[in-house]
Amino acid sequence: MGTSSVSVGLNSTAGDVLVYEDEDVVEVDDSDGVIEVYNEEDEEHLEVSEEVEDEGPPEDTGPTLCAICKQRNPDFTHKCGADFHNQCLDHYWKVIGSTDQRCPHCLEPISATEDAQEEEEEDDSFEEEPKSEGREGLAQQYLDLTNHYYLELINDNMYHVRIYINNMDPGTGIWHMFPIIINYTNYPERPRLLFPDEFLTTAMTVDEVAEMLETWDPKEPPQIIDLVRAFENAIKDRNRFFFEMKEMWERFGVKKGEKPLRTREITLEENTYGGDLLTFTLNFIHYPKEPKVIPPQAVALPDLKALKEWVPRESKVPDLAQEVIDHLHIHHRKEFEKDLLARVFDAEVTSEPIRVIVAESILQAQKLVFDVTFGEGFPEKPPELELVEYSGIENDVAEKAMNILDERLKGWKDIDYVEEILRSIGKEIFERDRPICGLCRKIDCPKCTFDILTANAACDNCGRLLHIHCKEEASHCPYCLNSFEVVLEVKPTEE
């Protein structure tokens, strides 16, 4: 007989958690912890073999077992030969709603007198044995399961059951049924579980089940129904993840070819400042626990509020993604601002405050010197600009520059740029302006060599000038992030 098993989370040699193929029949031998898997043909062969066995003297069948729970030391033997524990019979009748108290084996009535007679014939040492708290716990576990799930008994054992978990695939609308086999005969000791390999490809993760088994304490054992609910949660988590990923596709730019249900990972792409592409990855290997955020290289994210306050099965992935995108947008915006200042004013931007010199010429005989700091809340709030010194100009000219600066900062909007404010001051004071293209960051077009004032194309949203050729190759405005739509000429078809 061939055997096969796959361990998930725990050591398979102990038979605690194993995976079996859906079409196979599973038998568990509790004596040595061996789990065998055999198909229907093997099962038929076994049945035939039992019929043609040579008749001979009956072999020793081992210790007497209760016909219901298959445990030793039954309380009495019925006249049909079946052995039972009193508590197992009481629970059996309660579950099936029986009022006439018939034997589960022969369906003959069991009278109270017969019960009392059997109790008197018991061995004195057995009478002194304390009442089994474990058996009471077994009965309660079984009752909880029958009240919430459809199950089947294996080998007529109420404590070795096959439980069916139903789930509808949100993508296809097809219902699937997953049989979970649980043997909790030795409860409160750790139970033994088996589930089909299809469950692993459908469920989000079995971490919760594995953690419950690894930390199992017989003194304070979890309820069996909680173990089943952990399996059910794994299925529900996958459905919830499906709808969260659907919302991610609708709200954000997801990288083409992504299959997060299979890879447990998703990469987002979004247009950002300077004509660049913002990208980062979310890893969901431990979903519904908090995802792992993998930002671009050389980008350090602050402590994210969504991660610090993450509540499994309540917090939403799209909200976390939005917070990451907001932080990355701010990072790219600052880097774009610094690059503009470095290219237009030859500023040193390695540290803040950034020293920027606005001069009438390259000789800097007349100049205004500003310190620029991008504080908290930027770009929603304006940066800090301070005139720290000036030379070669009169005081009234410097005062005029300060008035221009104050006016622009008071009317600050998040689409304004420091480079443009300082250029406006240079144009007003020195009648000198050096605009550059925000895409290539140069005055002259790298393709046709015309400067931006000679050959340009304006953004339809913010009106800023760009090189014609640079705009043709770009997807969005580097300043306001407006997408450049390509209008195609549609010719009417002839009927």
Q: Which residue has the higher pLDDT, 39 or 182?
A: 182
Token pair 């953004």: residue: 459
pLDDT at 165 exceeding the cut of 70: yes
Closest by Cα among 60, 44, 61 to 52 = 44
Q: Which tens digit of pLDDT belongs to each residue from 59-103? A: 445 567 777 776 777 887 888 778 888 877 777 776 666 666 777
Residue 493: which pLDDT band, with cuts at 50, 70 and 90?
A: very low
Q: Which two tokens stand for residue 350?
A: 């390695």
Closest by Cα among 330, 331, 318, 171 to 253 = 318
First and final C-alpha spacing in the chain = 72
Q: Which tens digit of pLDDT belongs to each residue from 121-156? A: 444 433 333 334 455 667 888 888 988 888 899 988
Q: Which residue has the higher pLDDT, 462 or 131?
A: 462
Question: How buried is 376 (Cβ within 10 angstroms: 0-12 exposed, 13-18 middle, 19+ buried)?
Answer: exposed
202 and 178 in contact (C-beta within 8 Å)?
A: yes
Token pair 């008197």: residue: 120
Query: What average pLDDT does the chain have?
Result: 78
Q: Which of 110-124, 302-316, 350-364 has the lowest mean pLDDT?
A: 110-124
pLDDT at 56 exceeding the cut of 60: no
Within 10 A of 257 (CB to CB), how many other CB atoms are there?
6
Residue 338: which pLDDT band, with cuts at 50, 70 and 90?
A: very high
Average of pLDDT values for 178-191?
89
Chain-centre distance of CA 277, in angstroms? 25
Q: Which tens digit of pLDDT belongs to each residue from 293-327? A: 999 888 889 999 999 999 999 999 999 999 999 99
The interaxial angle of helices 224-251 and 207-214, nearest 10 deg, is 150
Q: Which domains does the chain have, with CATH numbers?
A: 6-40+64-73+129-237 (3.10.110), 252-327 (3.10.110), 346-434 (3.10.110.10), 444-495 (no CATH)
80 and 108 in contact (C-beta within 8 Å)?
A: yes
pLDDT at 172 exceeding the cut of 70: yes
Measured in residues, the chain has a length of 495
Taking the C-alpha atoms of residue 209 and residue 213, their distance in angstroms, rounded to an integer, is: 6
Chain-centre distance of CA 13, in angstroms? 30
Q: Which residue has the higher pLDDT, 116 or 239?
A: 239
278 and 332 in contact (C-beta within 8 Å)?
A: yes
Write down the pLDDT at residue 95.
Answer: 61
